[in-house]
Structure 1
Amino acid sequence: MTEFNEKQLEILQVAEQLFAEEGFDGTSVRDIAKKANVNIAMISYYFGSKEKMLEALVLNRISDMRLQLESLYHENIPPFAKVDKMVELYISRINKNRCIYQIIHFEFSTKKRELNFDSFTEMKQNNLETFKNIIREGQDSGEFHKDINVALLPPIIMGTYFQFHMNKPLYMKIFDLKTEAEYENYIATTLTQHIQKTIKALLVYEN
């Protein structure tokens, strides 16, 4: 896992905020340096370029997720409880870091610049292995079916969340969510519970 010092983490936090507010193209290294209260030379020394900074930001987010998944895997709780906590972890992480996820997906889809996301893909594969290990526990105990395409479960979790969030005005109207706090609470409770039920239904569904 890539380790960052305190100053690097501060810079990455500022970069993420500016990327989210102004877009990747709309943010300059000078903007980041000014807001982070550091000189441009320090950013160049730590990261090399704005593109490398984005790569570092992605790695920092995904490596942190790996630690939390591995911690969950080693918890002494029943498989169904682990699945509930795993879904809750995914949704809370995505919701908290949705700006960087949107930047990543934009960069992947447009391919406007050369970004090296090989390490990102490798870490996501490692996260998927931990995800599979959690599901395998339930399979070994006979609680989950053996014939499950585990690799397709994370897209269901993330896809449901992003479909909901991308249509935020619609769902706020449908569910009469009048404030940002009510919207965030709905994600943390009702939406998360809906996704938990969906994933658990797939784990016990008989063909």
Structure 2
Amino acid sequence: MSQIELNDKKIKILEVAEKLFSDKGFEGTSIRDISKEAKINIAMVSYYFGSKEKLLESLIIYKTADLKFQIESLQHENLEPLDKVNKLVEIYINRINCNRGIFRVLHFELSSKKREDSQAVFTELKKGNLKSLETIIKDGQSKGIFRKDVIIPLITPTIMGTYFHFHMNKPFFQEILNLNTESLYNDYIKNSLTKHIQQTIKALLVYEN
């Protein structure tokens, strides 16, 4: 997956596109909508990105490059395997929560066969992140810490699925957990929800005493 060269105008277009794709869906957003919201000439948007599909591909790379780098770097940190897994959970939840718009697009908009190129970009990213996760899990298995029967590809959807269920039911959880401000809600995700997911993943990975 190649990097993209960015300037201030490109970044502005990408940020606006993320918001509109998240709010209105990919199909419901036009290049004209994006150019109007970004206050940039429609011809300039087309010049920079060529098409809405290519814009989405650039947005995926722009918003997920940091996540990819953090996960790759985690493999080389001087930590025990379980500590690496706990940190991995923190990285995922923090990045998803800070970039809800693009992850909503990625997980709920990229099922269409019309967007196979963008799906391929996202698939490449997921494969790279899975390879990093496999390295961490296999290290724990070789040390006798993690179970041998772990289904490694299901670890990430367990992390993200729990987060998305929580977030997609935000009003419900705000009410029953008394999270009546955005700050309380985000603090709960950062601390309590993250810890719950870490405990869940640990239960899947570690042998019972």
Could you state the TM-score of these two structures normalised by the residue count of structure 1?
A: 0.90
Confirm or deny: 8 A CA contact 1:51 1:115 kept in the other structure. no
Establish whether residue 78 from structure 1 lines up as the match of residue 80 from structure 2: yes
* Contiguous gaps of at least 5 residues in structure 1: none
Match of 1:67 in 2: 69
Confirm or deny: 8 A CA contact 1:33 1:39 kept in the other structure. yes
Distance 1:177 1:82 in 2: 29
Per-residue CA shift, 1:72-101, capped at 9, x if unaligned? 111112212111110011111111222222
* Contiguous gaps of at least 5 residues in structure 2: none
Match of 1:169 in 2: 171
Give runs of ≥4 in structure 1 deviating > 6 Å: none
Confirm or deny: 8 A CA contact 2:35 2:45 kept in the other structure. yes
Could you state the TM-score of these two structures normalised by the residue count of structure 2?
A: 0.89
Cα distance change, pair 114–84 in 1 and its aligned pair in 2 (3 A)? closer
Confirm or deny: 8 A CA contact 1:62 1:124 kept in the other structure. no
Greater shift in the superposed pair: 36-45 or 80-89: 36-45
Q: 1:30 Cα deviation (Å)?
A: 2.5
Per-residue CA shift, 1:88-132, capped at 9, x if unaligned? 1111111122222222233234x2734412122122101100011
Give the alignment's Cα RMSD to 1 decimal. Answer: 1.9
Distance 1:176 1:104 in 2: 30
Match of 1:192 in 2: 194
Confirm or deny: 8 A CA contact 2:4 2:58 kept in the other structure. no
Q: 1:185 Cα deviation (Å)?
A: 0.8
Match of 2:7 in 1: 6
For 1:22-171, list aligned pairs within 5 A. 22-109=24-111, 111=112, 113-116=114-117, 117-171=119-173
Confirm or deny: 8 A CA contact 2:145 2:207 kept in the other structure. no
Distance 1:196 1:105 in 2: 22
Counterpart AA for 1:130: S
Distance 1:104 1:195 in 2: 21
| 3-state DSSP of counterpart to 2:114 | coil
| 3-state DSSP of counterpart to 2:150 | coil
Q: 1:188 Cα deviation (Å)?
A: 0.6
